[in-house]
A = this chain, B = another copy of it.
Amino acid sequence: MENREISQAVISRLPRYLRFLGELKDQGIERISSQDLSRLMRVTASQIRQDLNNFGGFGQQGYGYNVDYLYDEIGHILGLDKRHNLIIIGAGNLGQALANYVNFDRRGFHTRGLFDSDPHMQGVVVRNMPVRPMSELEDFIRANAIDIAVLTIPKDAATLVADRLVRSGIKGIWNFAHVDLDVPDNVRVENVPLSDSLMKLSYNLRDLEE
């Protein structure tokens, strides 16, 4: 696992490998050839070999991939064997939806707190967590070793809150606000501009009509 020059495009595809391998595991399948994995995932066998070769390759010619091993290795590569403590900022529908995703816990992402600037949201309880006021943000981050913040707030607020998060030592921001955040190099941001993918769908529909 010494290769650190893996492209973000490959990294982006790893969770999908993990999902398919997890399903194979659940079905008790121990080995799979790159051809069979290719048919299942609808990507070329050469793409699969190329992607997995980034990590030294886990397959053996004529033997196929060991499902359990590959699953664990990809999980390790993605850092899913580490524990992350999350807070969600913005306790609206989207924030609540994310707070309720139990699968995140299985992957090592533990939501520890929920924040909202709206006084009417104080006292609301989501999955046994009370919605907290923004004034408690910094103390909570430090007291609970929070390393990831999820932003489900409007873009103007996101810009201001990101500065506070950075100053409090947050390492990762999962950003649902439609704005590019300006953060130092030692903070990682993953943007989830939801409507972008709806626009991509729109493009592909347009293509269909022509």
Contacts and interface: CB of A to CB of B under 8 A. Distances in A.
Contacts of A190: 197-198, 200-201, 204
Interface string A64-104: 00000000000001111010100000001110111011011
A134 to B, nearest CB: 20
Given A92-B97, A107-B199, A205 B192 contact: no
A139 interface: no
Interface in A174-210: 174, 178, 180, 186, 188, 190, 192-208, 210
B104 A206 contact: no
B104 A195 contact: yes
Contact of A84 (B15, B195, B197, B202): B202
A25 interface: no
A42 interface: yes
Q: How large is the interface on A (under 10, 10 to 19, 20 to 34, 35 or more residues)?
A: 35 or more
Instruction: Please tell me how many copies of the chain the complex holds.
Output: 2
B174 A82 contact: no
Nearest to A192: B197
A193 B107 CA distance: 14
Contacts of A197: 174, 190, 192
Interface in A101-118: 101, 103-104, 107-109
A182 to B, nearest CB: 10
**Which are the 6 A-B pairs with shortest beta-carbon distances?**
A79-B206, A93-B97, A15-B196, A190-B201, A94-B97, A188-B204
Given A93-B97, A98-B194, A109-B202, 7 more contacts: A12-B196, A79-B203, A82-B202, A94-B94, A97-B97, A109-B198, A188-B204
